[in-house]
Structure 1
Amino acid sequence: MDGAFILDDDNNPFSKKITHEIGVSPIEYVDLRTDKEIDDYVARIFAQNSIKKLIVPVSLGEGGNNELGLRIALHIRLSERIGEDNLIPIILISDSSLETLLINQSNRYALIAATEGSVLAPLDSTEIKAHLNFTTPISKSEFKNKVLDNVIIKGPETIGPHSMANEWGVIQLDKIANLGSLTASTPALQRKPSLYFKYLLSVNRSRTAASVADNVTSTPNLIPAAGKKILYIDDEGDKGWVQALTKIFNRATVVPLTGNNLSEANFMADIRAQINLEWDLILLDLRLLPWKEDIAGTVHPIGYYSGTKILAEIKTINEGAQVMIFTASNKAWNMRDLIDLGADGYYIKESPKYLIPDNLSLQNYESFKKQVEICFEKKYLRKFFTLKEQAISQTGNSDLSFMAYSQNSLNEFFKLLKLGMWETAFISLFLPIEQHTDALVTGTHGEVMDLTGTIIQMKVGTNYKMVHDEINYNFQIQTSNKKVRARRGLGKISFTMAFKFSKDNAYLIRIGQLVEKRNSISHGSATTIKLQDFEDLIAILKLFRTHS
């Protein structure tokens, strides 16, 4: 019978008998134990033979009453290595009924015999031949409804949902971003030949829209990151995530912390040592202690997890540090909670529990890329948190009202800066400067006490110590008999900086620029705020907080 084959088992006399009676071609069965061995065996026999129909004894090899034939049939159906040959008719032969097979086995592999394109036949040559003649291949369009939806493949009981998401998620990421980063030794790929993963992949392929192929690039879909320093904290990063992320962040330095062979205390000590360093981005897994946090059926508040506790420590060290959380949760409220706790973004490690189609996987990855880009752009927040804290740490000024006002303004500035409200952040820094100089400079024409305790007056005799350049909008240190008064705003700030803090004319030009920007914001005129403006205003407040 052309194209009909049987797995020929030396331990099964009946298979040799029907080989001759029916006229099918034998394929030598070899001792198979693991899913990887079965997966390779299936790929090999289909590459070497033009198989159109296949007879598979349910029990194969020594021992008998095993389920190897059922496992082989499932591997054929779920294989992506043999193309559409996975749709061929499969005749399973056994002296047990389907009900008996289901009762006697802890799994439900025997259900494959009840699906379209497969049949369970007794050890009878005539009946087997009839099934060979009348069993037809499955149509590709009906594969999901008539095969995948009717088999039960359970995941391994020894692996928690978090670990499973780590293995499944990195396979999906590697595929969607076209990375090619995983190797044969990668733990996630080592599990890929398992029946459970093959089943998940088959279901995922059946759900994936055809348009996805148009969106997945032919070259790796990477994130430009030349010169960036990235810290990656994940207890299961060695399952392929380190390789994938190192490939994704093109030309960056990715430093992984996976806690391999470390106690909990030493792992946490390593983490705390690294988060004190300066990074362009920190990628932090939500669950770092799976033996405590990855218990099936147990749900904890988001703040319970070790990742959120480390996030809090990072933000205490420097609120401007950019931290993205990796999580297997796809619950919207968890994402909101993470942002409320200070996370700057998140990436959902896709879990086989949800089997997200590839088009949505691609959206998940593109969202991750956009969030990373924003984090890279906001690296300046780390610097300004440090500058803000350094200014607040200065406590030499005895004016308690100013000290409280300026501290509140500095904290408010940083919150506004994080929100991208640059103009309001500018005003928040400027107002205490304006208020303080208004109090420092007294008298009709203006006088201020310098750092030695000497009173410096604007007008001495008929001369004034400063001139007002109305064209360029600044004050300059220059003796002149032209009348000038140190008024609130530009005049008093300039006079204070020149004669209390001994700043030069170049500095006073800069003061004029800052005051002009303040006026433009207040009057609703167009103006461009730069990071240097914030830095200069914080430096003034720091100076004011240092001296009375």
Structure 2
Amino acid sequence: MERTYILGNNKFMEELGGTFIEIPNLINEAEIHNWVIELFRVNEINKVVVEIGENPLLSLQIGYHIRLSIENIRNGTLVPILYISKLSLNSIMLQTEIYSQILVTKGVFFSEYDLQSNKMEIENLNGLNEREYLIKFLKVIHIQPDETVGRHSLANIWGAYAMDKASNANALSDELEFKKKLYFKYVAAFNNIDKLKPSLQNVIEDNKKPIKFNFKISGNINKPKRILLIDDEASKGWGTVLRKVFKTSPAEDFVVINEKVKDFESFSEASKRIIESEKFDLYLVDLRLNGLDEDENLKTEDFSGMKVLKKIKSLNKGNQVIVFTASNKVWNLKALLDAGADDYYMKESPEYNFSNAISKQNYKDFKENVDKCFERSYLREIFTEWKNTQSKNTNTDRRFIAESDTALDIAWEQIKENYLDFGFLTLFQSIENIANKLYIIDDYNDSLEGETTIDKTDSAKHEWLMTFVKDKQNGDYFSPGKLNQESQRKPTTIYKVSCLFKIKYKKDEAFLKKIGKLNKLRNDIAHGGTKNSATKEDLMKILSILGEIRSR
């Protein structure tokens, strides 16, 4: 009877031998969980005998908590359990309903009280082994979720737990109430069976190091990242887990909006101000922000998170948004991407109970998508300049405004897909088009728009007022000054662009040098064969130059 623990409330149980432990008045699952875990923590237990007395349900729940506490007591979950009662088995089954399933699983026994027989039974008790745990216990029982919690909350609770485990963040304390519920422990047990195998223990412990993000961003690796989490149930675990996952970001740069809303206008004024006024490198938005009210929603467009996504993108199309969703329906995911989502993360649900391998791959995909969003967060600045350029539309030539509007739209579509070179060429082409259109060639005096005269010093040599300056490193450009041997005999497009800004718009030589440098980049990209490509800064400059023309 050594290391046999007798759990009960009636004195007759002490006659069985072993160590007698009185069952306290445990009124909920958390208290049962805590009591069982502490019992195994302070004692070395090989066999358990449980009295089914005045509260049969409590007695059976103790058995379930023993069997399902793999994360806490590891192989202690495999001990044999003998239930002894003065009640008949039929009476117990009627009182405990579905919970009586444990009585037909391997390693669990039932006997009516009989001192001599019970002692012999205890001597011959055998528990489960690791191979039998899944087939002869987990797949025999079935535990239902708490109906008062709701599917949305369950998905959030389980999803946060799954990410915490897959990322090795270990952010969720064992003391959290939801981790002590039988349904949670039941679902989690399917993915924790490997913890029953001693041969894998060292491997498991070695893999506990947190998985970090690269946190790369175009142009400035050390730039602080700001993340905004919008989730009506962030307090169910997501806020805690994600804050730990993004731990290289300063705490004040991980902002959480935890409000139940049906659309953007339903947010509090403080939350609307955060979304509209503050800048973030990444937005994490839950698809369902209205809790149980959206459980029966069938249209993706009607989801609260979809409406918030559209609002965030309307503020700045460069904002990087990953939508969190428990839906795996293809049409829902396509609708999110069509609405501008940069990616999505599939919240794991206890209904599907993904394997550890799938959970880790799901997290790996999320990590890669986050890194991609951080790298692309520069789009927010480009779009701000793009919007500023678009708003400048006072040029009296309405055809040019219409043409450059089209160029701006085409360029943005190219840029947002990471085709920065094509976007740059499209914008530069728009500037060249207007210069070619406005520059009128004449044998003696060229002009801009037929009004501003461009003098030539010698009609036979066709030498121009603007001097050609060679700068192989930074880009050739045209500068006002004396004529030299490099003067052009025929006005090139870059010459026309230079005249436009120098003569018509009165720009200085520094500005003309900037155009020359951008022209060199344009030629490098167009002709190929070099490693030069457009950067965020180049796009900002070309947009600014285009804006100069649009505002004239």
Same fold (TM over 0.5): yes
Q: 1:529 aligns with which of 511, 525, 534?
A: 534
1:279 lines up with 2:273 in the alignment: no
Distance in 2 separating the partners of 1:171 and 1:216: 20
Distance in 1 separating the partners of 2:511 and 2:370: 37
Distance in 1 separating the partners of 2:544 and 2:306: 33
Sort the Cα spacing of 1:284 and 1:319 in 2 relative to 1 into closer, same or farther, 3 A: same
Sort the Cα spacing of 1:159 and 1:18 in 2 relative to 1 into closer, same or farther, 3 A: closer
Match of 2:509 in 1: 505
Match of 1:50 in 2: 44
Alpha-carbon deviations, 1:405-456, whole Å to 9, x = none?
Answer: 1001111111101111122112211221111100111023663449xx9623
Q: 1:374 aligns with which of 372, 375, 378?
A: 372
Q: What secondary structure is seen at the aligned counterpart in 2 of 1:403?
A: helix
Match of 1:4 in 2: 4
CA contact (8 A) 2:82 2:109 kept: yes
Distance in 1 separating the partners of 2:203 and 2:160: 19
Distance in 2 separating the partners of 1:101 and 1:311: 53
Instruction: Give the aligned residue type for 1:37.
Output: E
Q: 2:482 aligns with which of 471, 475, 479?
A: 479
1:321 lines up with 2:319 in the alignment: yes
Deviation at 1:100, TM superposition (A): 4.3
Distance in 1 separating the partners of 2:236 and 2:453: 70
Sort the Cα spacing of 1:392 and 1:50 in 2 relative to 1 into closer, same or farther, 3 A: closer
* Worse-superposed segment, 316-325 or 129-138: 129-138
Q: What secondary structure is seen at the aligned counterpart in 1 of 2:139?
A: helix
1:160 lines up with 2:160 in the alignment: no
Sort the Cα spacing of 1:511 and 1:5 in 2 relative to 1 into closer, same or farther, 3 A: closer
Q: What secondary structure is seen at the aligned counterpart in 2 of 1:423?
A: helix
CA contact (8 A) 1:222 1:247 kept: no
Distance in 1 separating the partners of 2:49 and 2:527: 86
Sort the Cα spacing of 1:513 and 1:211 in 2 relative to 1 into closer, same or farther, 3 A: farther
Match of 1:404 in 2: 402
Match of 1:383 in 2: 381
Report 1:417-436 matches (<5 A). 417-436=415-434
TM (norm. structure 1) is: 0.88
Gaps of at least 5 residues in structure 2 are 216-222
Instruction: Give the aligned residue type for 1:521.
Output: I
Distance in 1 separating the partners of 2:529 and 2:389: 30
Match of 1:93 in 2: 84
Match of 2:182 in 1: 195
Sort the Cα spacing of 1:215 and 1:542 in 2 relative to 1 into closer, same or farther, 3 A: farther
Match of 2:218 in 1: none
Q: 2:345 aligns with which of 340, 344, 347?
A: 347
1:447 lines up with 2:446 in the alignment: yes
Distance in 2 separating the partners of 1:261 and 1:380: 30
Deviation at 1:353, TM superposition (A): 1.4
Distance in 2 separating the partners of 1:216 and 1:497: 64
RMSD: 2.8
- Give the percent of matched residue pairs that are identical in Structure 1 and Structure 2: 33
Report 1:292-331 matches (<5 A). 292-293=293-294, 295=295, 298-331=296-329
CA contact (8 A) 1:469 1:475 kept: yes
CA contact (8 A) 1:191 1:197 kept: yes
Distance in 2 separating the partners of 1:335 and 1:28: 54
Match of 1:17 in 2: 12
Instruction: Give the aligned residue type for 1:424.
Output: F
Report 1:132-151 matches (<5 A). 132-151=122-141
CA contact (8 A) 2:263 2:305 kept: no
* Worse-superposed segment, 488-497 or 141-150: 488-497
TM (norm. structure 2) is: 0.88
Sort the Cα spacing of 1:122 and 1:70 in 2 relative to 1 into closer, same or farther, 3 A: same
Match of 1:102 in 2: 93
Instruction: Give the aligned residue type for 1:289.
Output: N
Q: 1:356 aligns with which of 354, 357, 364?
A: 354
1:248 lines up with 2:245 in the alignment: yes
Alpha-carbon deviations, 1:16-41, whole Å to 9, x = none?
Answer: 33532x43432222111111211122
Instruction: Give the aligned residue type for 1:230.
Output: I
Q: What secondary structure is seen at the aligned counterpart in 1 of 2:394?
A: coil
Report 1:54-73 matches (<5 A). 54-59=48-53, 64=54, 66-73=56-63
Distance in 2 separating the partners of 1:287 and 1:336: 16
Q: What secondary structure is seen at the aligned counterpart in 1 of 2:285?
A: strand
Deviation at 1:183, TM superposition (A): 4.3
Distance in 2 separating the partners of 1:18 and 1:480: 113
Match of 2:235 in 1: 238
Alpha-carbon deviations, 1:248-296, whole Å to 9, x = none?
Answer: 2213311111128999965354443222122111111111111311x3x
Deviation at 1:306, TM superposition (A): 0.5
Instruction: Give the aligned residue type for 2:28.
Output: T
Distance in 1 separating the partners of 2:19 and 2:356: 40
* Worse-superposed segment, 124-133 or 277-286: 124-133
Alpha-carbon deviations, 1:454-479, whole Å to 9, x = none?
Answer: 62314156763112235643222123
